[in-house]
C-alpha cells in the first residue's frame, strides 16, 4: 500500500461532518495532520467541542484540533439548529473532550503545515471557507504549497439547499469563498481544486437500511433504533460508534423527512473526504466558477461558466457524477469496521 495521504480537515462539525471525521479515522490510506474548526452548522466554540469529542470517540485523541475565526469575514454568523440540532450532533450525546484545543489558530495551522511539507498536503474543507479565505490572505502562496484542495460546497447544476440557488457552506461566508476561488485560479498549482457540490453529494443518500448494515458490520448487539419518533427512540446499540451514528442520523433523517420527502440523510461531507482519498469515486469537469456577492436573490451562488462564455481559464474541477453506491458501501465497511476494532481493543 502507498504511503498514507497527509491531509487537514476544516469543518463546522454538525452531523455529516462528524461522519466525515469517522470515515477519515477509519481509512487506512489517510494520515490526519490536524482538524481545524469554523462556525457554520453551529457556532465555532461548539464546533471545537464536537470535533474533539468525535475524534476521541474514534480513538484519535492524538489529533491536533485548532479553532479558527469565529465569525465570517464580513457577514454575521449563521447556524442551522433546525438541521443539526442545538449542539450540532442531532440526538447524540458525547462526553466532554479531554484534550484541549491547540494553541495555534486554524489559519496558522494550515499555513505552517503546508510550508512544512510543500506539495504533499491535501486540504479538505467541509464547512464555510472562512479559515481558508483568511489563510490565503495571510499566505498568498498557500495554493502552490498544497498538493490539492478538495471542498464540499456549492451548487453547480442543481438547486440550492439554503436559498434557491445557494448551498450552505458558500452561503455562510461568500466573501471567503470568493477569496479562495480567486486565489486557487492562479497558474502553477499541482492540481485544480476538486469541488463536490449538491449536484453529487445529494446522491449519497444514507438510509435506515445502511444503518442496519453498519450495525451488523460492527457486531453491535442489539442493532440500533432509527425510528421516526423523538428522544424516546434513542439507539440501544451496544457499540458506542453505532449508537452515536444512529442517534445523530435520526435527527438528520427527521429533518429530511419534513423538508425533502424521504426518511434518510444526505451525507455530503463524508463523500468529499472519500473523494479526496480516492478521486476515482467522482467524475469531474474543469470549469470556471465565481461567487456572487451582490445579488438581491442570489448572493452566495456559485456561478459556473459551463458554456465557457467568459473565456477565463478553469479554476475548479467540479464533480458531475459520483459512484454513490460504492461510497456508501465503503462508509458502512469502514465505519462499521472501526466500531468493531475499538470495542475489541477496549475489551
Tens digit of each residue's pLDDT (9 = 90 or more) over 206-264: 999 999 999 999 998 655 555 444 444 678 888 999 999 999 999 999 999 999 999 99
Write the burial class of residue 231 (CB in 10 Å: 0-12 exposed, 13-18 middle, 19+ buried).
exposed
Region 5-207+261-346: CATH code: 3.90.245.10
Taking the domains of the chain in order of start, what are their residue ranges?
5-207+261-346
DSSP code of residue 166: B
* pLDDT exceeds 50 at position 72: yes
Give the residue among 210, 329, 214 at the shortest CA–CA distance from 271: 329
Return the percent helix, strand and coil in the chain, to nearest 5.
40, 15, 45
Task: State residue 196's pLDDT score.
Answer: 98
For residue range 253-291, what is the model confidence (pLDDT) as tens digits? 999 999 999 999 999 999 999 999 999 999 999 999 999
| Lowest model confidence (mean pLDDT) among 14-18, 79-83, 111-115, 231-235 | 231-235
Task: State residue 282's pLDDT score.
Answer: 98
The predicted model gives 151-176 an average pLDDT of 97
Distance of CA 196 to the CA centre of its chain: 10
Q: Is there a catalytic annotation at residue 268?
A: yes
The predicted model gives 289-312 an average pLDDT of 97
Task: State residue 238's pLDDT score.
Answer: 86
Q: Which of 105, 171, 256, 268 is catalytic?
A: 268
The predicted model gives 14-18 an average pLDDT of 98
Write the burial class of residue 171 (CB in 10 Å: 0-12 exposed, 13-18 middle, 19+ buried).
buried
Give the residue among 76, 32, 79 at the shortest CA–CA distance from 54: 32
What is the number of alpha carbons within 13 Å of residue 308 lying toward its C-beta?
6
Full-model pTM: 0.96
Q: Between helices 15-25 and 240-259, what is the axis angle to 10°? A: 140
Task: State residue 192's pLDDT score.
Answer: 98
Task: State residue 230's pLDDT score.
Answer: 41
DSSP code of residue 156: S
What rounded mean pLDDT belongs to the chain?
94
Question: Buried b vs exposed e over 258-274: b needs ≥16 C-beta within 10 Å?
Answer: eeeeebbbbbbbbbbbb
- Judge contact between 130 and 37, C-beta under 8 A: no
Amino acid at each position: 500500500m502507498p504511503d498514507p495521504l497527509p491531509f487537514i480537515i476544516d469543518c463546522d462539525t454538525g452531523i455529516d461532518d462528524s461522519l466525515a471525521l469517522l470515515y477519515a479515522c477509519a481509512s487506512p490510506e489517510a494520515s490526519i495532520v490536524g482538524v481545524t474548526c469554523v462556525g457554520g452548522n453551529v457556532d465555532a466554540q461548539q464546533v471545537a467541542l464536537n470535533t474533539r469529542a468525535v475524534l476521541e470517540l474514534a480513538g484519535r485523541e492524538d489529533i491536533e484540533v485548532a479553532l479558527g475565526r469565529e465569525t465570517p469575514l464580513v457577514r454575521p454568523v449563521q447556524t442551522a439548529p433546525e438541521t443539526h440540532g442545538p449542539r450540532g450532533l442531532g440526538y447524540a450525546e458525547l462526553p466532554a473532550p479531554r484534550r484541549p484545543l491547540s494553541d495555534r489558530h486554524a489559519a496558522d495551522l494550515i499555513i505552517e503545515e503546508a510550508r512544512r511539507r510543500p506539495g504533499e498536503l491535501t486540504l479538505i474543507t467541509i464547512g464555510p471557507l472562512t479559515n481558508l479565505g483568511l489563510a490565503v490572505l495571510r499566505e498568498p502562496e498557500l495554493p502552490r504549497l498544497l498538493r490539492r484542495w478538495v471542498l464540499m460546497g456549492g451548487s453547480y447544476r442543481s438547486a440550492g439547499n439554503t436559498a434557491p440557488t445557494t448551498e450552505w457552506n458558500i452561503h455562510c461566508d461568500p466573501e471567503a469563498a470568493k477569496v479562495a476561488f480567486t486565489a486557487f485560479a492562479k497558474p502553477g498549482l499541482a492540481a485544480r481544486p476538486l469541488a463536490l457540490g449538491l449536484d453529487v453529494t445529494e446522491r449519497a443518500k444514507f438510509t435506515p437500511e445502511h444503518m442496519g448494515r453498519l450495525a451488523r458490520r460492527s457486531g453491535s448487539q442489539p442493532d440500533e433504533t432509527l425510528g421516526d419518533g423523538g428522544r424516546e427512540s434513542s439507539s440501544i446499540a451496544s457499540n458506542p460508534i453505532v449508537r452515536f451514528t444512529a442517534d445523530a442520523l435520526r435527527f438528520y433523517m427527521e429533518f429530511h423527512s419534513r423538508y425533502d420527502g424521504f426518511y434518510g440523510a444526505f451525507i455530503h461531507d463524508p463523500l468529499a473526504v472519500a473523494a479526496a482519498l480516492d478521486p476515482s469515486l467522482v467524475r469531474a469537469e474543469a470549469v470556471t466558477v465565481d461567487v456572487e456577492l451582490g445579488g438581491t436573490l442570489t448572493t452566495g451562488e456559485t456561478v459556473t461558466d459551463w458554456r465557457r462564455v467568459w473565456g477565463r481559464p478553469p479554476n475548479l474541477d467540479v464533480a458531475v457524477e459520483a459512484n454513490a453506491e460504492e461510497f456508501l458501501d465503503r462508509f458502512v465497511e469502514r465505519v462499521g469496521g472501526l466500531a468493531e476494532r475499538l470495542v475489541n481493543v477496549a475489551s
